[in-house]
A and B are shown apart, each in its own frame.
Chain A
């Protein structure tokens, strides 16, 4: 492929790919390497892809496969088949929307098991529908829904805990000002 095409593709996708990689690989260095490796593979093999509309899907799929191949031993698969599981309505309304930042979201995502983390991150990046997420991760669409349902509940719980923990942090009290009638 010509160099400008490659550059355009990089510009269009490298940021969400890096954020996906960061949630998977846990460190910025590893995420950058994973993102870089994905584009490296695209530059060497991407010309084999005939449907240009599938570039984004190819990149995310490749990044995920590269992650799995590098961290195969760390991946823990759930013992139970999650298909068919349903979610309960949350017991109480979630009030975390205004009290979190990007780092807190990534930190919380990284605490969640990889089988939930990958679909969850793709969902929040909003790049793919749940069916497309199923294609990227090579799992059934119903499994994506199950994992999103469970994963979102876990993420909210972690974010609420983080938010409550932050609000409980001790803040040093401001020293009272000297009174005007103090010692001279």
Chain B
């Protein structure tokens, strides 16, 4: 083995001595003990490698990272029961039933000449009930009593998944919301309408959630173009309407967090 071969091998030998008994390095290590030139090189290499390793291991880790990881982990643990209404099968069956009901009502309407279809439309309900439903589901998610239907750090993936599964989702989100790393999403049923929930890692470590439902499901939907801020059961929220949907951004963080996220125009 030449010294050049030995340096090539010894360059992969960890400075903390963890590879001392690795047979791959044995011959090169013996040679380094015998050859003064190689020994000088190896000693210098080890000293420098040890210093670099020590400095790298001293790089500080964000103080809140551990708690953020543990929170995210609780939200994503598998094996939790999923409500029957949150499954794809449910929505497939519901869609089939809706088609049959629609056809039946059309047939009945044409026969008796009445607006039968209006009888099956859900009555719009107060926005507060939608907020309560969203908060209750989010509380279950955070507590680990419910699981996401889909998970991805990319919001675009979740938007696509929600759209493919027939749940409302805005194609354009406020800039700061679009830039947050997402955790996952869930479809819930409210007032006969599918409603979407998306959870994000907020910019300061806390969780931020976005809820969306068809605007027609709400009797007093929030205004278009600008958010209305409020607080309910310990949640801070901002509500607005967009693309025919009622949108709600929620967090347990201070309201200023929501205002920062929605600082840019919420209109696409």
Contact = CB atoms under 8 A, between A and B. Distances in A.
Given A10-B66, A89-B3, A89-B41, A37 B153 contact: yes
B73 A39 contact: yes
Contacts of A22: 59
B49 A124 contact: yes
A125 B53 contact: yes
Contacts of A145: 8-9, 11-12
A174 to B, nearest CB: 30
Interface of B: 3-5, 7-9, 11-12, 14-16, 18-19, 22, 37, 40-41, 44, 47-53, 55-62, 65-66, 68-70, 72-79, 151, 153, 181, 183, 201
Contacts of B50: 97
Main secondary structure on B side of the interface with A: helix
Contacts of B44: 90, 93-94
A181 to B, nearest CB: 50
Given A14-B69, A145-B8, A149-B8, A126 B76 contact: no
A156 B48 contact: yes
Contacts of B66: 10-11, 14
B56 A32 contact: no
Contacts of B9: 145
Interface of A: 1, 3, 6-7, 10-11, 14-16, 18-19, 22, 28, 32-33, 35-37, 39-45, 47, 66, 70, 86-90, 93-94, 96-98, 100-106, 109, 121, 123-126, 129-130, 144-145, 148-149, 152, 155-156, 159
B183 A106 contact: no
A129 B53 contact: no
Contacts of B78: 43-45, 47
A170 B65 CA distance: 38
